[in-house]
Amino acid sequence: MTLKMYNTLTRKKEAFVPIEPGKVKMYACGPTVYNYIHIGNGRPAIFFDVVRRYLEFQGFEVNYVVNFTDVDDKLIRKAEETGSTVPELAETYIQAYYEDVRALGVKEASLNPRVTENMEGIIAFIAELVDKDFAYEKGGDVYYRTAKFADYGKLSHQNLEELQYGIRIDVDERKESPQDFVLWKAAKPGEIYWESPWGQGRPGWHIECSAMVKRYLGETIDIHGGGQDLCFPHHECEIAQTEALTGKPMANYWLHNAFINIDNQKMSKSLGNGILIRDLLKNIRPEVFRFFMLAAHYRNPLNFSDDSVQQAANGLERIQNAYDNLKHRLATASPGPADALVEERAELTRGQFVEKMNDDFNTPDAITAVFDLVAEANLYLQHERVTVGGVQLFLEQLEAFDRVLGILRQGGDELLDEEIEQLIVERTEARKAKNWSRADEIRDLLTGKGIFLEDTPQGIRWRRK
């Protein structure tokens, strides 16, 4: 069975053929770190984590890069409002991002580069575009000349005229064309800046990812992903910049996940209906939210509501109960291998799971295969006599599926109250000492044990879920 994925560039499902056999170069656009991430950010974080996990499940070695935009207008404004600096603000929210996605079961990326660590490469990239006449400088700003790139609009399937209102920055008279977008922005008085051939300034939004993809993964990569909102202008502009520079395709496969609605309304600042991941996890177990995300196809809009989350919780409980019951029964199972029928059922459900995941990462149908396995396991556990081999085979199959989906609690001994209190004290001290890795490790341990932390004016409060 061949893995196929829907390529936004061609608008069709295509068989996946990696550039280098057995290896995958994959990039997903990460957050602009001026605030905590919300559930809209959670969808690409979880989905592309599953893509990466499934590729590894299939035996690929995946080099997965997710960037941080740690300088831009939003960070500058937030730093001014809070009396902080841009680097301090970015560091705070980068560490918060790590905490939140780890709580959601997202595996750490191969690399999380930051814009501020790549300024030399970004400036060199822009300079080469200027040399090639794809960019021009006006008053300390540098703009990309979109009319010179014949394929501009090929990802979003629009022409230049249709795109003229989509550019993220305001139109100004210094541009040769309204569609031209900024590569380098001159710094205003008092703003953070870097020296460049065009004066003091900072990069535009789009150039960052082009430079980091090229540096860390190469001129052409296998998979580039992100939310549907990034298709235009961000990814469209990335393609224009990179392909003008290299003359090669930037990515062979472009994947975009759809939006999340809240109670059938689009999530937006104007409606004030956004939900932060860390607030969400005070009331919902992270694996339930992850299961909820994967219960719909990534290219379909997803509606977040109390009812839909409860349905996810109920469905996940069926899977979790089967897993826990299998582990419990293992202790009293009779010695011996799995019988032929158990092997047949396990192999059948594995084939169904792989078939569905190979069809454009169809997680809802893959979850149906998991439920089929659960039903078979539950029937098996009703037998008066079960074998160690039979129980282990069901367990191994569930755990194999979970290596892709990441939805099961593995269980373990429950922590005592005093142990929890001691770990919280240790985590607080680690954070004061800026030992972020140890602080994250403790939070992950507590989250994995069903212990949720909440910052209050009186200090950290904890509760069991």
Evaluate whether 143 touches 207 at the Cβ level (below 8 Å).
no
Q: State both tokens at 353.
A: 């799971």
Evaluate whether 206 touches 129 at the Cβ level (below 8 Å).
no
Amino acid at 334: S
DSSP code of residue 460: E
Residue 231 among known ligand-binding residues: no
- How many Å apart are CA 71 and CA 87, to the nearest integer? 8
Measured CA distances, 109 to 21, 279, 405 (Å): 21, 24, 16
Tokens 């396995």 map to which residue? Answer: 373
Q: Provide φ and ψ at 446, rounded to 5°.
A: -65, -45
Percentages (nearest 5) of helix, strand, coil residues in the chain: 50, 20, 35
Residue 206 among known ligand-binding residues: no
Measured CA distances, 131 to 135, 182, 198, 238, 328 (Å): 8, 16, 13, 18, 68
Q: Reduced to 3 states, what is the DSSP secondary structure of residue 68?
A: strand
Q: Provide φ and ψ at 82, rounded to 5°.
A: -100, 0
Beta bridge partners of 68: 114
Tokens 């989350």 map to which residue? Answer: 309
- How many Å apart are CA 446 and CA 380, to the nearest integer? 34
Residue 237 among known ligand-binding residues: no
Evaluate whether 63 touches 110 at the Cβ level (below 8 Å).
yes
Instruction: State the binding site for Zn(2+).
Output: 29, 209, 234, 238
Instruction: State the binding site for ATP.
Output: 269
Instruction: State the binding site.
Output: 29, 209, 234, 238, 269
